[in-house]
Structure 1
Amino acid sequence: MINFNGNIVEADVARVSLNNRGYKYGDALFETMRVVNGKILFLEDHYFRLMASMRILRMEIPMNYTMEFFEDEILKTIKVNTNLNNSARVRLNVDRGEGGKYLPKETSVPQFNIVAEPLEHLIYQVHPFENYKVDLYKDFYLAPGLLSGLKSTNKALQVIGSIYAKENDFNNCLVLNTNKSIVEALNGNLFLVKGESIKTPPLEDGCLKGVMRKQILSLLQNNPNYTIEEASISPFELQKADELFITNTIVGIQSIGSYRKKKYINDTAKAILNSLNVKIRLG
């Protein structure tokens, strides 16, 4: 069962119109959230990112699109899907509706849908990493700037990058911007650890304004064991790093095992993950 504009319907009944702007132009945004025991993790961060993104895309925001409204709609969707147990992955899609060519019609009204699927674990896990291989994806580049960081449905680079990774037996790839700086992984933000220093690309480089990225930065902000820096990462820095790890809301932290001939450890990532789980339990 899915939630289609507030109505719970069977998945095979829900149909998106051929005139839907999300379908025709990628004129849509989405949030992927983790729900544990009836609680939407980091709901406020997801909601305010969605609202900020709608404003950047000049979407009209209906008066009823409050945080409480989406919380109720998500939990309503979870409740009717009995197979979700206590942990679920939820995708909330918001599009501009129908009408117009590139220029939307003034009568276009935003629509939303919510799809949920089960997750195996209640808390974030330490994932196997020794055989997790990455390389640079250099067929196409992201443009620096905040528009590249929107979580929109226009993900052509990530789609073909994922195909490239599979064809070349990589678990993931690191994406570059047009300045040849590393921006992120195909499915999450990137962190680089060298000694006691932890570095992640700034939003201005074109990386996603990740919700988990924000959580990690918040955890590290007052930690005396590390210094944190938001700065551009050169491909040459990968060979000198002690650790590389990828973050997103569903996986939490995925450590990278190797980049070309370089091997990494995951000590810092494990410590951060433990702190993250403690924060979630206490929250």
Structure 2
Amino acid sequence: MTGTVAVNGEVCRLEDLRLQDFLQSFFFGAGFFETLLVEEGAPMFLARHLTRLRESLGAHAGCVHAPPPEVLTPEAVREALRRCLEAEATLRPRFTGVAKLVAGDGKLLLSFRPLPPRAPGEGVVLDSVEDRCYRRGDPTLNHKSVSYLRQYAHLGRGTVFVNEAGELCEVPNGNLFFLVGDAVVTPPLETPCLPGIIRSVLLREGRLGEMPIVERTLLRGQVEDVRGCVLTNSVSLALAVPRLLGRELPESLALAEQARAVVREYARREA
């Protein structure tokens, strides 16, 4: 993380933040966050991220102290981002990397970090299953809470979360799309999984080439029917999964390339 941050639009140094200003978030996980891609100083899908953040705050209004509405607008965040980039020598106005928004304790914290090291076209192998902590219909997993230990503990381990019914849900850092038959399938929110920004874009587009994109449950035992798999999140956009639970998926790379192209075209139209 870089040293320059913004709190409710005011630029400051990370080391000057006070713990007492973030007590609910720190001690109780009473807050939400968004991680988004910044390219050449422009945040991708910022309005969508803020909409999801406001929805999470609204759904937990009784226990999470939301920031003032005026700092949760795309215009306010873009201005805070611009001022941070101008203030930080290691960022500069044409920064490409990751921005993070954390909302809680009446504040919106904006911070930055470099892009994760990953070669173009590099995929991620998912060969591990965690089936003890996801339960169908759990509403907490439809929100990106700062109480993130459940996911954080499995980052980098190639883990797929599976619910008590044996349905594939998501991975610690993104949603999953499976090529099954002549359709691209992604688990419904009630499995549960996060309503990811890239997930919503792909569902809105509705197709990858000639293949429809649909919400449908996929059981662990149905992995044998999967021909390709893609992991989506707001930083990497779409990553190929060349192996899923021991099954080689040669069609994943092409599927991920198609998904990235659709997402980037959507972002271009929405900008």
* TM bucket, shorter chain: 0.7 to 0.9
Contact kept? 1:87, 1:120, Cα under 8 Å:
no
Q: Which residue is equivalent to 1:9?
A: 12
From 47, 50, 53, the counterpart of 1:50: 53
CA–CA separation in structure 1 for the residues paired with 2:126 and 2:22 = 41
CA–CA separation in structure 2 for the residues paired with 1:80 and 1:261 = 48
Aligned-pair CA distance for 1:201: 0.7
From 232, 238, 250, the counterpart of 1:247: 232
Aligned-pair CA distance for 1:223: 5.5
Q: Describe the SS at the equivalent of 1:161.
A: coil
Contact kept? 2:45, 2:267, Cα under 8 Å:
no
- Aligned 1:1-283 pairs, distance under 5 A: 1-17=4-20, 20-58=23-61, 59=64, 61=66, 62-67=68-73, 68-84=75-91, 85-95=94-104, 97=105, 110-119=106-115, 126-129=120-123, 132-162=125-155, 165=157, 172-219=158-205, 221=206, 225-265=210-250, 266=252, 267-282=254-269, 283=271
Amino acid at match of 1:86: F
Aligned-pair CA distance for 1:136: 1.2
Distance 1:222 1:241, change over 3 A: closer
Distance 1:78 1:237, change over 3 A: farther
Structure 1 gap segments, 5+ residues each: 98-109, 166-171
Amino acid at match of 1:141: Y
Aligned-pair CA distance for 1:125: 7.7
Distance 1:261 1:78, change over 3 A: same
Aligned-pair CA distance for 1:269: 1.8
Amino acid at match of 1:159: Y
- With 141-150 and 19-28 compared, the bigger mean Cα shift is at 141-150
Amino acid at match of 1:229: V
Aligned-pair CA distance for 1:8: 1.9
Aligned-pair CA distance for 1:141: 2.4
CA–CA separation in structure 1 for the residues paired with 2:25 and 2:120 = 35
Q: Which residue is equivalent to 1:169?
A: none
Q: Which residue is equivalent to 1:100?
A: none
Instruction: Among all aligned residue pairs of Structure 1 and Structure 2, give the percentage whose two residues are the same amino acid.
Output: 19
Q: Structure 1 length as normaliser, TM-score?
A: 0.82
Amino acid at match of 2:125: Y
Aligned-pair CA distance for 1:224: 6.1
CA–CA separation in structure 1 for the residues paired with 2:48 and 2:168 = 25
Aligned-pair CA distance for 1:249: 0.4
Q: Describe the SS at the equivalent of 1:71.
A: helix
Distance 1:7 1:244, change over 3 A: same
Amino acid at match of 2:128: D
CA deviations 1:215-251 (Å, max 9, x no partner) are 12223x1556012221112111222200111100001
Aligned-pair CA distance for 1:279: 3.5
Q: Describe the SS at the equivalent of 1:207.
A: coil
- With 36-45 and 10-19 compared, the bigger mean Cα shift is at 10-19
Q: What is the aligned-residue RMSD (CA, Å)? A: 2.5
CA–CA separation in structure 2 for the residues paired with 1:261 and 1:202 = 24
Q: Structure 2 length as normaliser, TM-score?
A: 0.86
Structure 2 gap segments, 5+ residues each: none
